Amino acid sequence: MSSASGAFTDAFDACLERDQECIDACRFQLGECRDSTGAGADLFACQLELKAAKDRCRNKFPLGSRRREICIDRAQIAGFRCRRAVLRHLRRALRDCRSAFGQCANACVPGGPPGGVDTCKADAKAALQADLASCKATYQVTASGCINKDGTCVQGCGDARDACSAPTQSMLAAAMMVCTAQEKAAAAACVQANPGGGSPLDQCLTTAQANAFACREAALQAAGPGITACTQQYVGCVKACPAA
C-alpha cells in the first residue's frame, strides 16, 4: 500500500529488537504476500484507467471548459472508488499478510535496527509527518483553486503535474522490476549452492530477501525527490494562477 499511513505502519511495526536482516526479509515477504493477493495489480489498473479517463477528457473537451473540468472531476472520483473497492475486497487477505509478518518477525533472533528502536520509531514518525504535510498542502491549494482560481490555469497545472511525474513513475516501476529479478536470481543461486537445504539455505534466502527489500526501499527513496518536486511545482503553479 502506498498511503502515508500504510507506509508508516509498515516502518513503525518493523522497529523491533530483532535481527535487522531477518526483519527486512520479513518485510519483503509482506510485500510478496500483498502482491499475491492481486492488490498491486488491481490498484495499478485503477491508476491506468484514471489516466486514460483524464486523457479522454482532455481530448474531448477544450482546455478551460466547464465540461472538461467536470469530466476530470468525475474521472478522479471514479478512480478513488476503484481503489477503495479493491482495498475493501482484499481487506481480509491483506490483514492475513500483516499477521504473517508478525509471526515472521517474532521468529527472528534478538538484535535491533541501526540506532536503536527509539530512533527507528522517531524516523518513521518524522517521515509520516512530512508526507501528511505535503498531502495537506496539496489538498488545500487544490480546494482553493477550485473556488478562487481561473479554471483553465488550474487544469493546466494538473496536466503539467501528470506530465512531470510520469518519467519518475516509469523509472520507479522499472527499478522495482530489477529488484524482483535480482531476488529471484539470488534465491535460485541459494538453492543451487545449498542442495542439502537446512539452515544454510534458510540463511541464504533470508539474505536474498533482505537485499531485495533494501533494493526496493532504495528505489522508492530515489523516486521521492522527483515526486516531491512535481508536487511543489503544482502547488506553486496553482498559487500563481489568476483569480477567477
pLDDT tens, N- to C-terminus, the chain (244 residues): 446 667 778 888 889 999 999 999 999 999 999 989 988 889 889 999 999 999 999 999 998 888 998 999 899 999 999 999 998 999 999 999 999 999 999 999 999 898 999 999 999 899 888 888 888 888 888 887 777 888 888 888 988 999 999 999 999 999 999 999 999 999 999 999 999 989 999 999 999 999 999 999 999 999 999 999 999 999 999 999 998 7
So where are the chain's domains?
A: 149-244
DSSP string for residues in 64-102: T-HHHHHHHHHHHHHHHHHHHHHHHHTHHHHHHHHHHHH
Torsion of CA 23, 219, 89, 6, to 10 degrees: 60
Which segments of the chain does DSSP mark as H helices, in order?
A: 4-13, 20-36, 39-60, 66-89, 91-106, 117-148, 151-193, 198-240
The 10 Å CB-count burial string (b at 16+, else e) for 187-201 is beebeeebeeeeeeb
Query: Quick one: cell of 45?
Result: 489498473
pTM recorded for the entire structure? 0.79
Q: Is 61 exposed, middle or buried (0-12, 13-18, 19+ CB in 10 A)?
A: middle
Going by C-alpha positions, the residue among 74, 39, 37, 35 that lies closest to residue 54 is 74
Four-residue CA torsion sign, 17, 20, 22, 27? positive
Give which of 138, 134, 169 is closest to 48, Cα–Cα: 169
Q: In terms of C-beta density within 10 A (0-12 exposed, 13-18 middle, 19 or more buried), how is residue 157 classed?
A: buried
The C-alpha cell that represents 148 in the structure block: 478562487
pLDDT at 1: 41
Cell of 218: 532504495
